[in-house]
Structure 1
Amino acid sequence: MRIRGEAGAGGPEPFAAGPVWGIAAAAAALLIALAGRYGFHRDELYFLLAGRHPAWGYPDQPPLTPLLARLGAELFGATPTGVRILPALLSAVSIALTASIARELGAGRGGQVLAAGAAACSGFLLGNGHLLSTTTFDLTAWLTIILLTLRLLRAGEDGQGGRTSTPDQERPEANRAGIRWPLLGAVVGVALLNKLLVLGLLAVLAAGALTAGPRGLHLPRPLPRPRALLGPLTALLAALPFALPVLWWQAAHGWPELTVARGISSAGGAGGRLLVLPMQLLQFSPVLAPLWLTGLSRLLRRPELRWARPVAVAWVALCVLVIVSGGKAYYPMPLLYALAAAGCEPYARWARGHRARLLGALLAALLTSALAALPVLPASALAVPMTVDPDLGEEVGWPELTRATATGWAAIPAEQRAGAVLLTANYGEAGALARYGPALGLPTPYSGHQGLSAWGPPPATATGPVLLVHPAGYPQLEEHFTGCHVVARVDNGHGTANQEQHAAVLLCAAPDRPWTALWPLLRRY
């Protein structure tokens, strides 16, 4: 008789589809209901703009998220709610995937429901489900990769050292593993269309499998050793159609994503490295920390889950890699969801006699996560939540920025406007002006920031004055212009201290050299 928790012996429990998908649907409904409470995020405005310029890559990302932004706008409308329906649905899938990982690690119905509930109450999932971002799709894709990896690891355990497998049982398990390898490759390939960061996940999972996993991932022991490479080879072949165009674009353009990564590392500094673990604690939810701590302990210490130990090793390795490289603290978060899933079954058993306490903890996690990651407070009260999630503040003030820019444009004599240029410091401002500017008579904005650098320079006929939208953090923007003076300032009307609050709108003379010569100097990744 199988003991619950021994997922490698006899297969996992049935999937608790009804309650899990009910929780996922409720979370999606909450996200959609709150989607339009503030406004677009700067990244969403950029994605909408990039979606009009489809390419196999941009300096800061592959093409998938801009295409999703365009798809969402065309299907549901070019509004914050319309663009955010797809992220809400992806978050629902991520909740179900977390429950599936718990099931794979031996959780019964209660453990799976707890895993889904914990994911739905976590700040990281709610925050990324509220916005369209590359991280939104990454969470879903990474959880899928982790789930498929666990199934391959369990197949290796059953086929090469499991205590209950027979030769008749090994062949179906090996056959299923043969299907999972190309499926894993296809998911990795699609993830590469979104962000190259998935290569880091593969590296730490592979390191975990080689150092802490079962002796084989996919095929029973009697087969010849060379055939052990068959599964990874089929995965590679499945990934290549997606990966090659993205990698080719990056190589042809000098690997700009590496430049962006170096900028992220230098911007974070030593302080960012020290915050990698505390930020994961806050972003998941401090209330839910016992789940992933228990899961980490179970994967590292329990013999019946030794086959799944590579996932715990992968999380530790990725945390170390992020600290050393200066990456962002949230990079290991999908692996943290897997650790939390591993810790759910013991708490589900405990909850049979303490249901009220567990529900109270989930409610506390939901309330604190919603305050930190969702637009539930007035826009004028975001100072505290922005210390945890600055992205909330980046949803405020874009129409006001556009109106301030229109005021500056009106200061240009009418006879000079045909040759004038509208230039912004960053892609968020350019995206806002492209979205809201036409209704106020503004022309196409230009910027040297990220992907917009490829859509310039302005035409040679643009020899008139230049209107700069110019936050204080970019003094170098006006170095090549003379006669600059402030004609308007941005005020978002809520006192929200985001990057554009009180930004100057400057009217300047024509640049000191032709645009074609100036444009490379304005390019900024």
Structure 2
Amino acid sequence: MEKGTSTEPLPPAPAPPALPPLAKRPIVLIMVAVFALQAAVSARYGFHRDELYFVVAGRHLAWGYVDQPPLTPLLARASGELFGDDPQDLRIFAALACAGTVLLVALIAREFGSGRAGQLLAAACAATSGIVLGIGHLWSTATLDIVAWLLIAWFVLRLLRTGDGRWWLAVGTAVGFAMLNKYLVGYLVVALLVSLFAVGPREVLRSRWLVGGAAIAIGLSAPGLWWQATHGWPQFTVAGGISTDDGIKNRIMFVPLQIAYLSPLFVPIWVAGARRLLRAPQIRWAHSIVPGYAILCVLVIASGGKSYYALPLLLVLVAAGCEPTVRWAASRPGRRVPVGSMLLVATVTSAVISLPLLPAGRVNAVIGINPEQGEQIGWPELADAAAVAWGRIPPDQRGRAVLFAGNYGEAGALDRYGPARGLPRPYSGHMSFADWGPPPDRADGPVVVVREGEVTARFRDFVDCRLVTRVDNGKGVDNEEQHAVVELCAGTTKPWSRIWPDLRHFY
């Protein structure tokens, strides 16, 4: 036998930490409660502008759209086929996603070793946070995004805790499906990979299963990416427009809105979670989550993205902080720690800000924090205003007339509420509506234009326009469409096919 060699077997790898039992029944009760709350308020106010757009996009199924991948419009269409076409029908999937978010946060807390009380606190924090309630009320790309990101985070944590590289396959599958919903998940992937490379454990990056997971993610997302590539990557143009229009405001408000959207009352919990991840030896294997969250914030701020983009990883920090929070509360027997009161206050404030609980005429009180509340009010009134202008067109000219909307929310509302008011199919150059036009060139008659804001060069080819009326939602809600202009124009300077490229816009 050569010197320095040994026939003794290597010691077995240490077993991953055992997980506490899952608090199934109380977590399910919280999920049912949050689903019931969402269902109870889903019919108040009305459609959101994005929902109106998704419904129309669902009738034009494709592997991609200029501003999004295919999954959200596809499920909007499925919701219509399965349940109906009212707001509460479309939002069934959103309420289910909200309940799923609660479950995932509880599972992540369990991954960090939280017992029954810690899991329940994590589920309760998720169920009472403003971002989860708000996104769970509306059907949007963000609704699926938060579920997908938390699912990816849970799979990554299982990978890190067990050291089993096969979890990369689950991570890749979740990333692939997330890419079919929103390309923003690329930020999460970059943040987690860079953090793992920087602070470890790096051995998971050397697993052959990582290649398999990457292949799955690429395979699932390939159709949408191919659509983007063959259409000139319009998603980058849309993202650039968001950054140009709102980037400065988004950067200034990033930290305040991170706190407000989650709940200011949860700050001590996620701070405790970050400290625990960095210091507690029992979960040292997950310490890369903290720099991962920091990297994600840098990416979002640098690109001028919205503050809620980074909130899923902040929910992971909340999950990590629940166990030390309940232990701290239990260690103070002489003083009652009002955790229940804190959750009650968080529930009330988050619900008022995020859900349609206020009378419609009082929504201005919360629009400053959550403008999406106001975007659910006034769409039938917009169609009423358009019908007034359409009624000014002589009946013998209506066959050649066109109804044109300035943005996709207006176009979606006219598509939804217009037929009952005798209005024709609307056209618009905004986002993917531009791909579903233009009007035929034989439509050379009058044009009813519905638009917000000032006249821009985009409307220079509409001639002899006169104001007919302005939109009034009747509730005094200061949303984007309040006082929008409804004009009646004599026609266009050139055929629609020639002016359509100039009417296309992305923001």
Category of TM-score, reference length = shorter chain: over 0.9
2:94 is matched with: 87
- Choose which of 409, 429, 432 in structure 1 pairs with 2:413: 432
Match of 1:347, SS? Answer: helix
1:199 is matched with: 186
Q: Contact between 1:189 and 1:243, CA under 8 Å: does it hold in 2? A: yes
1:242 is matched with: 220
- Choose which of 391, 405, 423 in structure 2 pairs with 1:410: 391
- Choose which of 235, 246, 254 in structure 2 pairs with 1:276: 254
Q: Contact between 2:272 and 2:325, CA under 8 Å: does it hold in 1? A: no
Return the alpha-carbon distance in structure 1 between the equivalents of residues 374 and 15 of structure 2: 46
Within a 5 Å distance, the mapping from 1:83-482 to structure 2 comes to 83-156=90-163, 174=164, 177-178=165-166, 180-217=167-204, 228-352=206-330, 353=333, 357-473=338-454, 475-482=456-463
Match of 1:486, SS? Answer: strand
Q: Contact between 2:403 and 2:424, CA under 8 Å: does it hold in 1? A: yes
Q: Which one-letter code corresponds to 2:289 in the other structure?
A: V
1:161 is matched with: none
TM (norm. structure 1) is 0.91
- Choose which of 511, 515, 521 in structure 1 pairs with 2:492: 511
Q: Deviations over 1:273-327 (max 9, x none)?
A: 1211111100000111111111112112223322111111111011111111211
Q: Contact between 1:155 and 1:217, CA under 8 Å: does it hold in 2? A: no
Q: Which one-letter code corresponds to 1:193 in the other structure?
A: L
Q: Contact between 1:425 and 1:474, CA under 8 Å: does it hold in 2? A: no
Return the alpha-carbon distance in structure 2 between the equivalents of residues 476 and 382 of structure 1: 33
Q: Which one-letter code corresponds to 1:189 in the other structure?
A: G
Q: Contact between 1:470 and 1:477, CA under 8 Å: does it hold in 2? A: no
Identify the range of structure 1 (352-361 vs 421-430) with the bigger mean alpha-carbon deviation.
352-361
Q: Which one-letter code corresponds to 1:317 in the other structure?
A: I
1:3 is matched with: none
1:213 shift after superposition: 2.1
1:8 shift after superposition: 8.3
Return the alpha-carbon distance in structure 1 between the equivalents of residues 281 and 53 of structure 2: 49
1:476 shift after superposition: 3.5
| Residues 473, 232 of structure 1: alpha-carbon distance in 2 compared, 3 angstrom cutoff | farther
1:421 shift after superposition: 0.6
Q: Which one-letter code corresponds to 1:80 in the other structure?
A: P
- What is the aligned length? 490
Q: Which one-letter code corresponds to 1:79 in the other structure?
A: D
Q: Contact between 1:425 and 1:447, CA under 8 Å: does it hold in 2? A: yes
Return the alpha-carbon distance in structure 2 between the equivalents of residues 335 and 39 of structure 1: 31
* RMSD (Å), alpha carbons: 1.5
TM (norm. structure 2) is 0.94
1:473 shift after superposition: 4.7
Q: Which one-letter code corresponds to 1:90 in the other structure?
A: A
Structure 2 portions without partners, runs of 5+: 1-13
> Aligned residues: percent identity?
50
Return the alpha-carbon distance in structure 1 between the equivalents of residues 455 and 52 of structure 2: 20
Identify the range of structure 1 (286-295 vs 337-346) with the bigger mean alpha-carbon deviation.
286-295
1:170 is matched with: none
Return the alpha-carbon distance in structure 2 between the equivalents of residues 258 and 31 of structure 1: 34
Q: Contact between 1:273 and 1:326, CA under 8 Å: does it hold in 2? A: yes
Identify the range of structure 1 (507-516 vs 354-363) with the bigger mean alpha-carbon deviation.
354-363
Match of 1:502, SS? Answer: coil
Return the alpha-carbon distance in structure 1 between the equivalents of residues 456 and 376 of structure 2: 24
Q: Deviations over 1:405-436 (max 9, x none)?
A: 11110011111100001100000111111111
Q: Deviations over 1:306-353 (max 9, x none)?
A: 211111111101111111121111111100000000000011223334
1:118 shift after superposition: 0.4
Q: Which one-letter code corresponds to 1:330 in the other structure?
A: Y
Match of 1:351, SS? Answer: helix
Return the alpha-carbon distance in structure 2 between the equivalents of residues 361 and 414 of structure 1: 62
2:39 is matched with: 32
